[in-house]
Amino acid sequence: MSMSCPLRCFAALAALATATFASAETRLLRFPDICNDRVVFTYGGDLWTVPAQGGTAIRLTAGPGLQQSAKFSPDCTQIAFTGEYSGEDQVYVMPANGGVPTQLTYYPALGPLPQRWGFDNQVYGWTPDGGRILFRSYIDTFALAQPRLYTVAKDGGLPDALPMTFAGVGEYSPDGKQLVYSPLFRDFRTWNRYQGGWATDLYIFDLATQQGRNITNNIRTDRDPIWIGNAIYFVSDRDDVLNLYRYDVASGQTAQVTKHRAFDVRWASGDRAGHIVYELGGALRIYDANSSQDRALVIDVPTDGVHTRPEHLAVADKIEQFGLSPHGERAVFTARGDLFSAPVDKGITRNLTHTSDAHEREAAWSPDGKRIAYVSDASGEEAVWVRDADGDGAARQLTHDVLGRLYALRWAADGKHVAFSDSANRVQVVDVAGAKVSEIAKDPFGLQRDYAWSAKARSWPASPGRARARRCGGSSPSRPARAPAAP
């Protein structure tokens, strides 16, 4: 069966993002830092700087790879950052107003790493005297769960490891005699409201006595510490959304200072003067610790938007799933979020969905070969959809409740119902004509995808308890499937 040529020759039109135009607020701004009246951040893989009042940003870097985690020196004249100029993550330093970056670390970096592990040699800040740069690295280990904090002189030389055996984020006290740090590192993971063994706590570590004490001790995430005077500001989701908190070093009291609900506070960073900048919903905001005022920072990044322009992409090497039509004349593919129908022998390849702003997957051909059911998030949440296999007509959404992530669509032999599972471990059936959803089973122990319809399922019983959809290896087709008993 040869189908590679038709699909290889087909190009999908993909709009990667909404273009950003001049005089408009730019989003997707990340890893900010602030020093008095200047802010530095990452956009489009490069470093940019802008006044603390907002406005038009100025590009600082234009090299290959991703330049990120920029941190101003205490006197605001230099910027240390993690760069990929050499093809791997290393620590660099450059003038704050722009110039040629100087590479400071050379030990072979681990990477590229899975997204949840972030980057090697990630810059966290400077020593208070401005002589050395603080960063997290895997210099002495290959275990991704065991990074360590190091410093390197701004003029170059070998890095020095800090005393803590393992450490993620870190920040020096104003006098340089202590650090606030987290022994664990999971800053790039998307575990909202996580409260297991990898929930990060913050500790104050005394460099003279080499003793540490927990200052957060909360079951939720505590991260991004900023030491300003006698207070340590940090980010936590103890109220379900990541917000900014203040810990008073003298009294040990903690208070919440921002109360955002729509988006998480991310990558908070600050200066000794009491200014804290952070990411919120792709934009930047500034919190003034002196006045307790929080404000939005409107920034325009003037670029030609190359990566936001629509473009044609070949998708033959991006196939996620495939399946044959009932009679074997055509195959359906899911590739880069679209559905494609390709001939087994002769014919044309069709893009059935053309949805550059949605992700289609889990395609399943109906028994008569006339329709294709699939999962799509075109409505904003994942749902089961159905459309004609020849691409004519409009697609129809069958499920409308928020059911989580959906899997493993299976048509009944009569073509009137589709079984699917969801991330709550439920097996459900949707009526294709009326779009009615019925739960038929739930596994308390794990996700289920191993179910199948009986070969002669010609009708759907009124009672879900008599469903003819069953798990492979379960009861015989003549007996109803039953939900497992609760443990």
- 203-220, pLDDT tens digit by residue? 999 999 999 999 999 999
Comparing 411 with 15, the larger pLDDT belongs to 411
Is a pLDDT exceeding 50 seen at residue 17?
Answer: no
Q: Under a CB-based contact definition with an 8 Å cutoff, are residues 182 and 223 in contact?
A: yes
Interatomic CA distance for residues 174 and 249, integer angstroms: 12
* pLDDT (0 to 100) of residue 316: 85
Q: Under a CB-based contact definition with an 8 Å cutoff, are residues 54 and 92 in contact?
A: no
Interatomic CA distance for residues 225 and 227, integer angstroms: 7
The two structure tokens encoding residue 251? 């009294």
Domain count, the chain: 2
Beta-bridged to residue 232, according to DSSP, are: 227, 247
Is a pLDDT exceeding 50 seen at residue 7?
Answer: no
**Do 290 and 315 fall within a single domain?**
no
pLDDT, tens digit (0-9, with 9 covering 90-100), for 40-99 = 999 999 999 999 999 999 999 998 899 999 999 999 999 999 999 989 999 999 999 999
482 in a structural domain: no
Contacts of residue 380, defined as CB under 8 A and 6 or more positions apart, other chains included, come to: none
**Do 330 and 256 fall within a single domain?**
no
For residue 444, give the CATH number of its domain. Answer: 2.120.10.30
**Do 122 and 248 fall within a single domain?**
yes
The two structure tokens encoding residue 403? 């059911």
174-188, 414-428, 451-465: range with lowest mean pLDDT: 451-465
168 in a structural domain: yes
248 in a structural domain: yes
* pLDDT (0 to 100) of residue 34: 98
**Do 292 and 429 fall within a single domain?**
no
Helix (H) or strand (E) holding 5: helix 4-9
pLDDT band, residue 307 (cuts 50/70/90): confident
262 in a structural domain: yes
**Do 336 and 400 fall within a single domain?**
yes
479 in a structural domain: no
Comparing 127 with 25, the larger pLDDT belongs to 127
For residue 124, give the CATH number of its domain. Answer: 2.120.10.60
Burial of 16 (0-12, 13-18, 19+ CB in 10 A): middle
Among residues of the chain, what percentage have pLDDT more than 70?
89
* pLDDT (0 to 100) of residue 312: 84
Task: Quote the mean pLDDT of the chain.
Answer: 89
**Do 299 and 319 fall within a single domain?**
no
* pLDDT (0 to 100) of residue 310: 83
Comparing 257 with 142, the larger pLDDT belongs to 257
**Do 221 and 356 fall within a single domain?**
no
The mean per-residue pLDDT over the stretch 439-458 comes to 87
483 in a structural domain: no
Sign (positive/negative) of CA torsion 231, 237, 239, 244? positive
The mean per-residue pLDDT over the stretch 231-239 comes to 97
The mean per-residue pLDDT over the stretch 106-118 comes to 92
**Do 315 and 302 fall within a single domain?**
no
485 in a structural domain: no
**Do 151 and 269 fall within a single domain?**
yes
The 8-class DSSP code of residue 174 comes to T
Measured CA distances, 485 to 15, 368, 452, 470 (Å): 47, 36, 21, 16
* pLDDT (0 to 100) of residue 358: 94
204 in a structural domain: yes
Is a pLDDT exceeding 50 seen at residue 352?
Answer: yes
Instruction: Please count the other Cβ atoms lying within 10 Å of the Cβ belonging to residue 121.
Output: 27
Contacts of residue 197, defined as CB under 8 A and 6 or more positions apart, other chains included, come to: none
* pLDDT (0 to 100) of residue 305: 80
* pLDDT (0 to 100) of residue 308: 77
**Do 427 and 294 fall within a single domain?**
no
pLDDT, tens digit (0-9, with 9 covering 90-100), for 221-230 = 999 999 999 9
pLDDT band, residue 315 (cuts 50/70/90): confident
**Single residue among 251, 271, 306 that ends a domain in this structure:** 306
Instruction: Tell me which residue range forms the domain holding 244.
Output: 22-306
* pLDDT (0 to 100) of residue 458: 57
| CA 209 and chain centroid, separation | 39
Sign (positive/negative) of CA torsion 61, 62, 67, 68? positive
Comparing 460 with 26, the larger pLDDT belongs to 26
**Do 269 and 315 fall within a single domain?**
no
pLDDT band, residue 459 (cuts 50/70/90): low
**Do 287 and 318 fall within a single domain?**
no
pTM of the model: 0.75
Instruction: Using alpha carbons, select from 71, 182, 63, 67 the residue that is nearest to residue 119.
Output: 67
| CA 229 and chain centroid, separation | 33
The two structure tokens encoding residue 200? 């990060």
Long-range Cβ contact pairs of 47-50 (< 8 A, separation 24 or more): 47/79, 47/81, 48/301, 49/96, 49/97, 50/297, 50/299
